[in-house]
């Protein structure tokens, strides 16, 4: 039993008072962050198979967790928190409330909170967890109470970038996070719920195979399953939504279903995942499309992802998978998205202002390269193939190509886009040099002329070049190229939310998808509130609504 300790409430929002430093949204297209994250990703994929902590977890307790009873149970699900404070805390604040009044319905707080992955951005570390996830969640529910909920967390790819070290220290040592209890011992878990419902959360580390200790853990839990049991399966990625481009994307989930669940006769009516920062529900096959429901709900705090490119129909497993033992493919239809597609189209046009403002290092880098190109052209003296021009031109060509290919999927569309994308950048460089030569101070002495170029030419050409990238992202996004980069550049932190699930006394599971169209950006300390109230309150009320009518899974 965890001792309940009283903690003095903060009097203001200083880091000394609240115990963490609220963070701005991650500037995903800033050059330094891109480089650092790229190195971490490369190391994680290169060394992940050799340093797989899931193998080491075999030495940890392999218990499943019981949240059973004869009455009803409420359970919350969110994913992809741990980015900017405003969005992350808006979701945490609502999750921590004793109940929510949403569209005329009174929805009590979940007794269990399941985190679906990516609790921290851009990469896991103790400091990042403290500032981007643990601090905000502790502030939202600061003190343990007899009815405090229990958190169970599944790691996503960003949690894996330090080899899962920080994740296990935070979630697998049974230390509470403010008023949230923790209980798990491993990076995956099985929860026994009322009325023969179960929740199984599997850790498919960076899309690798399911490890043997994890399979043994779930096979042990599956010994208690039978034909009357129903399962909510949670994965860190909505692999079903990727089979139209990657036929093998669903193979790991399918293998788990075939080898662990199907022999028991239990049914899996609901699959949940985060990773993609939107809400999308697919259903079918079955009477009226109710055979199985697939929900993506990565609404916890990271920048909004588009729903424009979600297929209206998908097959899981993929129809072109080469796994000979794969299950028979089933077709699922898209029922609801949040935000909806018209909203995604409107928001995309904000890229011209948000790209340079949210990622200030990006136009600076573009301006620096363009300034080098301009200076090289001025000193070429008619020799268009000299070394400075060649270097600057190669930087422009190589940079645009790598942006499309390395940050895309290396398909033929990405390669063509990378080459075509270079053309307007080169033309801008040549045109900028032509304009610069006509300015009155072009004949300034060499040191002064160069300084003027970096002081005046660089910021202007950088913004213009960033707008070229914005145009490219808008056009390329229509063809499915660099879609993620478009929305990383937009960095829209509205359209957040979570799922609240209820298991009724008769065994019916109902899903309430809750959306927050606009997060709050102005906060205040609340030192005189009761001990179990949030430390930080919004200056204006947060408005939550149902994304769609409640979904009954009978």
More confident residue, 300 or 400: 300
What's the confidence (pLDDT) of residue 404? 61
Question: Does residue 454 have a pLDDT over 90?
Answer: no
Closest CA to 223 of 253, 266, 180, 284: 266
More confident residue, 475 or 535: 535
Strand, helix or coil for residue 190: strand
| H or E stretch at 198 | strand 197-201
Averaged over 78-84, what is the pLDDT? 93
pLDDT in tens, 288-324: 445 799 999 999 999 999 999 899 999 888 777 777 6
Closest CA to 518 of 501, 533, 538, 537: 538
Question: Does residue 287 have a pLDDT over 60?
Answer: no
Q: How many CB atoms lie within 10 A of CB 263?
A: 11
What's the confidence (pLDDT) of residue 385? 47
Residues 355, 364 contacting (CB under 8 angstroms)? no
What's the confidence (pLDDT) of residue 289? 46
Degrees (nearest 5) of the Cα angle 357, 363, 365?
140
Closest CA to 262 of 224, 292, 222, 202: 222
pLDDT in tens, 182-222: 999 999 999 999 999 999 999 987 666 788 889 999 999 99
Prediction pTM value: 0.89
**Beta sheet of 279-283, edge-to-edge order:** 65-66, 189-192, 197-201, 230-235, 267-273, 293-297, 279-283, 330-338, 313-316
- Indicate the average pLDDT of the chain: 86
Averaged over 326-335, what is the pLDDT? 89
What's the confidence (pLDDT) of residue 288? 47
- Structurally, at CATH architecture level, domain 15-347+496-553 sits in 4-Layer Sandwich (3.60)
How does strand 293-297 pair with strand 279-283? antiparallel
More confident residue, 372 or 40: 372
Look up residue 110 and give its DSSP letter: P
**Which residues, including other chains, have CB under 8 Å from residue 70's CB and lie 6 or more apart?**
194, 505
Averaged over 153-164, what is the pLDDT? 88
More confident residue, 81 or 248: 81
Weakest mean pLDDT among 49-58, 69-78, 201-210: 49-58
Residues of each domain in the chain carrying CATH 3.60.21.10? 15-347+496-553
- pLDDT grade for 549, boundaries at 50, 70 and 90: very high
């Amino acid at each position: 039993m965890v001792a309940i300790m009283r903690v003095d409430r903060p009097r203001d929002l200083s880091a000394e008072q609240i115990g963490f430093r609220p963070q701005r949204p991650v500037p995903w297209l800033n050059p330094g962050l891109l480089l650092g994250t790229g190195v971490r990703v490369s190391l994680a994929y290169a060394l992940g198979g050799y340093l797989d902590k899931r193998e080491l977890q075999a030495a940890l307790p392999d218990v499943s967790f019981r949240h059973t009873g004869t009455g009803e149970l409420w359970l919350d699900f969110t994913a992809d928190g741990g980015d900017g404070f405003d969005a992350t805390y808006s979701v945490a604040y609502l999750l921590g409330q004793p109940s929510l009044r949403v569209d005329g319905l009174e929805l009590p707080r979940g007794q269990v909170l399941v985190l679906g992955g990516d609790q921290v951005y851009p990469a896991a570390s103790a400091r990042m967890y403290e500032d981007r996830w643990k601090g905000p969640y502790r502030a939202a529910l600061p003190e343990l109470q007899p009815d405090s909920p229990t958190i169970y967390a599944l790691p996503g790819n960003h949690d894996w970038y330090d080899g899962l070290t920080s994740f296990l220290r935070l979630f697998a040592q049974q230390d509470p996070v403010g008023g949230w209890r923790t209980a798990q011992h491993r990076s995956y878990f099985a929860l026994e719920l009322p009325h023969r419902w179960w929740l199984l959360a599997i850790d498919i580390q960076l899309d690798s195979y399911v490890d043997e200790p994890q399979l043994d853990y779930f096979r042990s839990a599956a010994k208690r399953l039978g034909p009357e049991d129903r399962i909510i399966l949670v994965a860190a990625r909505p692999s079903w939504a990727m089979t139209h481009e990657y036929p093998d994307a669903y193979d790991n989930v399918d293998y788990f279903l075939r080898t662990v669940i199907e022999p028991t006769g239990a049914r899996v009516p609901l699959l949940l995942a985060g990773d993609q920062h939107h809400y999308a529900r697919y259903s079918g096959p079955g009477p009226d499309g109710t055979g199985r429901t697939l929900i993506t709900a990565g609404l916890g705090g990271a920048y909004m992802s588009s729903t424009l490119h979600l297929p209206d129909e998908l097959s899981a497993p993929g129809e072109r998978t080469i796994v000979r033992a794969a299950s028979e493919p089933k077709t699922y239809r898209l029922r609801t998205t949040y935000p909806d597609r018209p909203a995604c189209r409107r928001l995309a046009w904000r890229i011209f202002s948000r790209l340079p403002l949210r990622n200030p290092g990006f136009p600076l880098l573009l301006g620096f390269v363009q300034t080098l190109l301009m200076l090289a052209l001025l000193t070429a003296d008619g020799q268009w193939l000299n070394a400075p021009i060649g270097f600057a031109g190669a930087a422009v060509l190589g940079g645009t190509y790598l942006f499309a290919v390395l940050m895309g999927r290396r398909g033929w569309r990405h390669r063509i886009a990378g080459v075509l994308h270079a053309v307007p950048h080169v033309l801008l460089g040549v045109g900028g040099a032509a304009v610069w030569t006509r300015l009155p101070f072009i004949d300034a002495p060499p040191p002064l002329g160069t300084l003027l170029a970096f002081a005046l030419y660089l910021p202007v050409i950088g913004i213009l070049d960033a707008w070229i990238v914005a145009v490219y992202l808008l056009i390329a996004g229509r063809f499915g190229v660099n879609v993620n980069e478009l929305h990383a550049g937009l960095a829209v932190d509205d359209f957040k939310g979570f799922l609240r699930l209820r298991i009724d006394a008769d065994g019916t599971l109902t899903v309430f998808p809750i959306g927050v169209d606009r997060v709050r950006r102005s906060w205040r300390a609340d030192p005189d509130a009761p001990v179990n109230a949030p430390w930080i309150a919004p200056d204006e009320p947060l408005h939550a609504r149902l994304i769609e009518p409640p979904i009954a899974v009978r």
